[in-house]
């Protein structure tokens, strides 16, 4: 074999995504791109389990996407018309994918998907306090006008505490055995 053919082989080697081992004992590997596409493809799948790699890669990639959009907006690019519509549709799809992924991740650590309701409850309390504080609510007007800021702060505290709790749960290693939500990933 001559030197030229070895260089040609190196140049024509197919692109491979960076692979991280998710379960060394079983030899299961999932790439960044595979985990991202697996999450986007299973938007309406709330049963089963997802591993930590899939969740944190998706969180990282959505953060990169959001920062990229922010950079374009700050650079002065106007996002309007069909571009805005496309971004809204993509953003809604990513939001739904994130919810389903979080539910599957909770299943992986042996918890119910209803834990995702905790931040929503805090957000509702925060919204009630905000609406009442501004005097736009017709219910409990006197109480919420005077004490709406307390209700809003309580809602903010609930959102922060529940988001911190969920982050701690998502950082845990998943169950290695079969649990009530399915086989291990």
Tens of pLDDT, residues 138-169? 666 666 777 778 888 999 999 999 999 998 98
105 and 62 in a single domain? The answer is yes
Q: Is residue 15 included in any domain, yes or no?
A: no
Q: Is residue 43 included in any domain, yes or no?
A: no
The per-residue pLDDT of the chain, averaged, comes to 79
Q: Is residue 167 included in any domain, yes or no?
A: yes
d(CA 92, CA 86): 10
Full domain range(s) for residue 89: 49-110
Note the Cα 77 to chain centre separation in Å: 26
What are the start-end ranges of the H helices in the chain?
3-11, 32-41, 52-74, 82-108, 117-133, 141-171
Domain count, the chain: 2
Q: Is residue 10 included in any domain, yes or no?
A: no
96 and 135 in a single domain? The answer is no
Q: Is the pTM of this model over 0.85?
A: no
Tens of pLDDT, residues 64-80? 989 998 898 888 787 78
pLDDT of residue 13 exceeding 50: no
């Amino acid at each position: 074999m001559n030197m030229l053919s070895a260089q040609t082989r190196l140049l024509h080697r197919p692109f491979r995504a960076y692979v991280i081992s998710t379960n060394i004992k079983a030899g299961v590997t999932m790439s960044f791109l595979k985990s991202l596409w697996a999450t986007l493809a299973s938007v309406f799948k709330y049963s089963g389990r997802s591993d930590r790699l899939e969740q944190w890669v998706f969180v990282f990639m959505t953060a990169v996407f959001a920062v990229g959009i922010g950079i374009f907006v700050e650079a002065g690019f106007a996002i309007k018309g069909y571009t805005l519509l496309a971004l809204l549709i993509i953003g809604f799809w990513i939001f739904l994918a994130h919810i389903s992924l979080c539910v599957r991740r909770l299943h992986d650590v042996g918890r119910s998907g209803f834990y995702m309701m905790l931040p929503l409850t805090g957000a509702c309390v925060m919204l009630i306090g905000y609406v009442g504080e501004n005097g736009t609510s017709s219910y409990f007007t006197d109480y919420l006008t005077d004490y709406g800021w307390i209700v809003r702060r309580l809602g903010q505290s609930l959102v922060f505490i529940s988001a911190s709790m969920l982050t701690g749960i998502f950082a845990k290693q998943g169950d290695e055995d079969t649990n009530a939500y399915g086989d291990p990933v």
